[in-house]
Amino acid sequence: MLLEFQSLPYLSHRGDVVAVIITDGLTKYYGEQRGIENLTLQMNEGEILGFIGPNGAGKSTTIRLLLNFVFPTAGEASVLGYDVVEDALEIRRRVGYLPSECHYYPEMTGEMLLEYAERFYRKDCSKRRQELAELLDLDLSKRTGELSFGNRKKLGIIQAMQHCPELLILDEPTGGLDPLMQEVFLDMVREEKELGVSVFFSSHILSEVQKISDRVAIIKEGTLIKMESIKGLLSDQFKRVTIEWGNDKTNDLKLAGLTEQDRQGNISTFIFRGDIRDLVAALGGLELLDLRIEEPSLEEVFLHYYDHTEVVL
């Protein structure tokens, strides 16, 4: 399996070439309760990997395993070539982590907190810290206890990025940020990527993942159900087709790969999965007024992998 990633620079201690993040059969149970089950995925260097699934799917559990906050029940994982359990220290040195909810020492100011964080890395982060604070428009002289949820999130973003990590692990990063700030933040992530930083981006908001990720991993009930490039996910798989028939009486199409057919008067809609030429051939000679073939939105793709009722969008 590792052969696919031979161009990557990360070496395990045995000298094998590995990806930025590898999980192999990673499983976590909290007592009886499932966290994740048999999760196997690989993330390439320099990519932004969207990690999506509804709340409770196991996204945060996966991240906690990668950072060794919790220990795996079974399976193993490595980050930047280091084993998550054995070499947690090396991983933390090189990773920036933004939790979904940021909790800090209320009596400290933002500046104090960030300086405290900095001391662990033994490098001067003050310049980068100022840049980030300016980008996010955050006043660092306020005590963290006085900050709103969104502003604490901004502080979280700075503490995750100020020490210039090789890998960013972001858990629901845009939650609490206003739409304008979300755009600023996504730009910051893109910039990090340009600098060669790999980004693991967990979210249940598909539109932002769609905007920024190179690939997505879809997790459902603790299990990875799909790993695909955004492009592949959207285009290769299926199309949404709308046909306006010349007359009401035309029968519905009978063709392999059609699902979710719906007919309202002379308008048919359906999902088509397969070779587009088959569809065109089947339509040939039929009386059409209009034909639209569209990319499905990621939401639709996502719904395809989930039962509609389960998805919180």
- Min dist. Cβ of residue 70 to other proteins (A): 4
278 binds other proteins (CB under 8 A): no
| Contacting other proteins within 6-65 (CB under 8 A) | 30, 64
Considering the complex, state which of residue 101 and residue 187 has its C-beta at the smaller distance from other proteins. 101
- Min dist. Cβ of residue 58 to other proteins (A): 14
In this structure, the strands spanning 48-52 and 74-79 are unpaired
How far is residue 98's CA from residue 115's CA, in Å, rounded to a whole number? 17
Beta strands in the chain (DSSP E): 10-11, 17-18, 21-30, 33-43, 48-52, 74-79, 82-83, 95-98, 167-171, 198-203, 215-220, 223-229, 239-245, 258-264, 267-272, 288-294
273 binds other proteins (CB under 8 A): no
In our burial notation (b when 16+ CB lie closer than 10 A, e otherwise), range 62-93 reads bbbbbbbeeebeebbbbbbbbbbeebbeebbb
- Min dist. Cβ of residue 292 to other proteins (A): 48
82 binds other proteins (CB under 8 A): no
Residue 291: closest CA among 241, 248, 226, 247? 241
149 binds other proteins (CB under 8 A): no
199 binds other proteins (CB under 8 A): no
125 binds other proteins (CB under 8 A): no
* Distance, first Cα to last Cα, the chain: 34
- Min dist. Cβ of residue 25 to other proteins (A): 19
Considering the complex, state which of residue 151 and residue 210 has its C-beta at the smaller distance from other proteins. 151
| Contacting other proteins within 153-182 (CB under 8 A) | 159
Question: What is the DSSP track for 219-263?
Answer: EETTEEEEEEEHHIIIIIS-EEEEEEESSTTPPPP--TTEEEEEE
Rounded to 5°, angle at Cα 118 from 117 and 120: 75
Considering the complex, state which of residue 76 and residue 228 has its C-beta at the smaller distance from other proteins. 76
305 binds other proteins (CB under 8 A): no
Number of chain positions touching other proteins (CB under 8 A): 24
| Contacting other proteins within 91-110 (CB under 8 A) | 92-93, 95, 97, 99, 101, 103-105
Considering the complex, state which of residue 69 and residue 149 has its C-beta at the smaller distance from other proteins. 69
- Min dist. Cβ of residue 159 to other proteins (A): 7
How far is residue 219's CA from residue 241's CA, in Å, rounded to a whole number? 27
* One residue of 8, 88, 253, 303 binding other proteins per CB under 8 A: 88
- Min dist. Cβ of residue 59 to other proteins (A): 15
Rounded to 5°, angle at Cα 296 from 293 and 302: 160
Residues at the site binding other proteins, with contacts judged by CB under 8 A = 30, 64, 67-71, 88-89, 92-93, 95, 97, 99, 101, 103-105, 116-117, 119-121, 159
